[in-house]
Structure 1
Amino acid sequence: MPSTRQLTRFGSAAAVLAGALSLAAPVAAQSPIPSEFGIGSRLAVRFGVALLINLVLGGLLVALAPDYARKTVGAIRDDPGSAFLWGLLVGIAVPIGLVLVALTIIGLLITIPGLLFLAVLGIVGNAVTICWIGALLTGDAVDAAAVGAGAFVLALVAAVPVLGNLATTLVGFFGLGVVGRDLYRSWQG
């Protein structure tokens, strides 16, 4: 008989998979845009590119900073609401604030490096999100199997036109939030 932990892990994995599969209906309902490539080819290319990028990002995080990957995935698992809210703050409020600061000439000296720094935070946050989704699917371990599973599911979602971008952005706020919160706390001393 499966333990409660195994059932919870299976339920989480099933929820992620169901969410990914629920996005297939809007894709099927779209009319194909006439071009030299069919919609299936374009979706396959989107999936392939997203899978490759996700594998590289998640793989680099696990290979270069395995302790950090485990710590951040654990932080999302322990408090997903806080991680998401921090993600909204870092991903939406901070860029808006930087753009408002850019209205002055001196503000550009802050805004340009700030936006570049946010781009780097976003890349690290996406890598954390890939590991987190994979850990939900494969178990608590943050390893190559988790990276592969997370990369596959997020690439599947990303392949869906328009809605896939929205869904991956929303899910990416979890990883971005944990990375941003950790950085903020490290600056606070």
Structure 2
Amino acid sequence: MTGVPAAALARRAPNGVETGTETAAATPWYVQAIGAGLVTLVVGGLLVAVAPDSTRRQTDRALESPGIAFAYGIASLVAVIGASVLLAITVIGLVLAIPLLLVFALVALVAGEYGYLAVGRLVSDNRLLALGCAIVVSVAVGAVPVLGSVVGFVISSVGLGTVVMAFLEGRG
């Protein structure tokens, strides 16, 4: 920041519209960190509480082959985006592309938590301790601006990849 008031940076365009005061609405780091922790607490907690056996299988898969799971997660992301772009080319396909993206976003949100829970399982096999560690990791990832986003993307892609692998194998 230069310390110059925003009003001093404003310029009037020839049409009378004020320019120069536009700023990106950035979310503070602590809001992102708390939001990430709450998502992991709620979604990860539900996964651990409602489907503990499935969660253990998915996190086992993530811990056994994280590279392959990451590749499956990235491949599914590319496939869904590619299919959506191809569908969106036509007007009729656009009606299918939007729900496809929304459903994929929801699946990716839930499946990504398996990656965080797998990181938690690196610390302990106890479900609650692993969940607590996953929450701490997600808060730490949410607090770091750029590198945290990259690390969060990798962890979530591993979680998504485990779900894709289970789907392709015909078991969850």
TM-score normalised per structure 2: 0.76
Give the structure with the larger helix fraction: 1
Which position in structure 1 is the counterpart of 2:98?
112
Q: Percent identity?
A: 35
Q: Which amino acid aligns with 1:109?
A: V
- Is residue 149 from structure 1 mapped to residue 169 from structure 2 by the alignment? no
Query: Are residues 1:171 and 2:155 paired?
Result: yes
Structure-2 separation of matches of 1:82 and 1:153: 22
Amino acid at match of 1:99: V
The question of 1:186 aligning with 2:166 is answered no
Which residue number in structure 2 is paired with residue 78 of structure 1? 64
* Residue 64 of structure 1: how far off its partner (Å): 1.1
5+ residue gaps, structure 1, are: 1-30, 35-41
How far apart are residue 177 of structure 1 and its match? 0.7
Matched residues in 2 for 1:69 and 1:142: separation? 12
Count of equivalent residues: 149
Task: List gaps (5 residues or longer) in structure 2.
Answer: 5-27
What CA RMSD, in Å, does the superposition of the two structures yield over aligned residues? 2.5
| 1:50/1:158 contact within 8 Å kept | yes
CA change 1:48–1:108 in 2 (3 A) is same
Counterparts of 2:131 and 2:77, CA distance in 1: 23
Deviations 1:20-68 (A, max 9, x none): xxxxxxxxxxx8x99xxxxxxx333332222122111110110111111
Q: How does 1:89-100 map to 2 (within 5 A)?
A: 89-100=75-86
The corresponding residue for 1:16 is none
Amino acid at match of 2:158: F
Q: Distance in 2 between matches of 1:47 and 1:93?
A: 29
CA distance in 2, matches of 1:116, 1:49: 20
Segments of 4+ moved more than 4 angstroms: none
Please report the TM-score for the alignment, with normalisation by the length of structure 1. 0.70
Partner amino acid for 1:174?
V
| Structure 2 Cα separation of the partners of residues 45 and 114 of structure 1 | 29
Instruction: Flag the 1:142–1:113 CA change in 2: closer, same or farther, 3 A.
Output: farther
Alignment of 1:63 with 2:78, yes or no, is no
